[in-house]
Amino acid sequence: MATPLILDCDPGHDDALAILLAASHPAVELLAITTCGGNQTVEKCTLNARRMCSVAGIVDVPIATGARGPLLGSLHIGEYVHGISGLDGPAFAEPTVPEAAESAHDLIVRLLREHPEPVTLVPTGPLTNIALVLQAHPELKENIREIVLMGGSTERGNDTPYAEFNIRVDPEAADIVFRSGLPVTMCGLNITHQALATPDVVDRIRALGTPMGDLCVELLTYFSASYLRTWGFTSPPLHDPVAVARVIDSSLVECVEAPVAIETHGRFTSGATCVDLHHLTGEPDNAHVAMTLDVERFWDLMIGAIASYG
């Protein structure tokens, strides 16, 4: 039976490919795409989700707008990576897929209540929407099977020296999620940096010779330039689809159990994930921490998903 899943995202180049993967694989049933402010303003992220779904012909998945910014403070956007639109590179036509009338919050709450099975949440942006739902409706925890998120790192950060972007944008929300008591899988930079879109990978996508393959090549080309300019990467890491891949086939992503705490007040380190890999703190484990990716099978999965759109 397919795993019911809500993708909570901030598209974003890698979020866009996560949408393609989640909407096409038979092992998951994509119930909704919800957005929050992150890579760009929430309005732009919703527009980008609608753009991707319109191009891909994903017409039966509601797209709902969520939080404009973090629980505390103002929104820090990832324009330096994803551009002014949040999905710079390709030219998109006016999207045909509409935005849902419900807010992301109301849609998530309704789906959790109504779905006969517990639902898996896959956040690939800041954790604001998820934290707001958990705060407002703690009783719905039993309707959540697990949270498999892209965020954090066992090593250093990307948005600041010690903080990964998604956690850094809303550390208080991340703190709520990691202390929720729910099963949480953290797909951090230490694993997503294994998912490099190398020239070989891009060639394989180009060789599909399909409109969607060409669009993905354009997205990856823009993303690649951002990664080279900002961090000196010669191939960009495709972060967000790794979390979706973990839900589709858990054997793709090897995890260890560890206590993870979120730095919310650090003078220099706000948003850092303190991952106690060696159990030095004596704190109980609260996360499955993704460590090793089966890179070959991951790209087979991702490229197969792109190919399925023709």
The residues carrying an active-site annotation are: 239
Cα–Cα distance for residue pair 300/310, rounded to 1 Å: 16
Binding residue for ligand BDR, selected from 8, 14, 29, 263, defined by CB under 6 A: 14
The encoded tokens of residue 220 equal 């990856």
Query: For residue 27, what is the DSSP state?
Result: T
Q: Is 12 left (phi over 0), alpha (psi -120 to 50) or beta?
A: left
Here's the x/- map for Ca ion, 221-240, by CB under 5 A: it reads as -------------------x
Please tell me whether residue 271 binds ligand BDR under the rule CB under 6 A.
Answer: no
The encoded tokens of residue 137 equal 């409706």
Binding residue for ligand BDR, selected from 5, 8, 12, 184, defined by CB under 6 A: 12
- 3-state DSSP call for residue 188? coil
User: 39 or 270, CB closer to ligand BDR?
Assistant: 39
Stretch 129-158 residues interacting with ligand BDR (CB under 6 A): 150, 158
66-74, 90-98, 163-171, 212-220 -> range binding ligand BDR (CB under 6 A): 163-171
Here's the x/- map for ligand BDR, 228-267, by CB under 6 A: it reads as -----------xx---------------------------
- 3-state DSSP call for residue 300? helix
Stretch 114-153 residues interacting with Ca ion (CB under 5 A): 124-125
12-20, 42-50, 60-68, 211-219 -> range binding ligand BDR (CB under 6 A): 12-20
User: 13 or 288, CB closer to ligand BDR?
Assistant: 13
Cα–Cα distance for residue pair 103/84, rounded to 1 Å: 24
Cα–Cα distance for residue pair 242/298, rounded to 1 Å: 8
In the list ligand BDR, Ca ion, none, the entry touching 164 (Cβ below 5 to 8 angstroms by class) is ligand BDR
Here's the x/- map for ligand BDR, 104-133, by CB under 6 A: it reads as --------------------xx--------
Q: Which of 252, 256, 250, 300 is nearest to 278 (CA)?
A: 256
Sequence-distant (6+) residues with CB within 8 A of 130 are: 8, 108, 121, 123, 147, 173, 177
Considering CB under 6 A, how many residues would be counted as binding ligand BDR?
A: 15
Q: What Rg, from alpha-carbon coordinates, does the chain have?
A: 18
Report H helices in 161-293.
165-169, 171-178, 189-192, 199-207, 211-231, 240-248
Alpha carbon 26 to chain centroid, angstroms? 19
Please tell me whether residue 226 binds ligand BDR under the rule CB under 6 A.
Answer: no
- Whether omega for the bond prior to residue 151 falls within 30 degrees of 0, making it cis, is no
8-16, 139-147, 258-266, 278-286 -> range binding ligand BDR (CB under 6 A): 8-16
Cα–Cα distance for residue pair 237/217, rounded to 1 Å: 14
User: 109 or 131, CB closer to ligand BDR?
Assistant: 131
User: 216 or 276, CB closer to Ca ion?
Assistant: 216
Stretch 10-29 residues interacting with Ca ion (CB under 5 A): 10, 12, 15
Residues near Ca ion (CB under 5 A) are 10, 12, 15, 124-125, 240
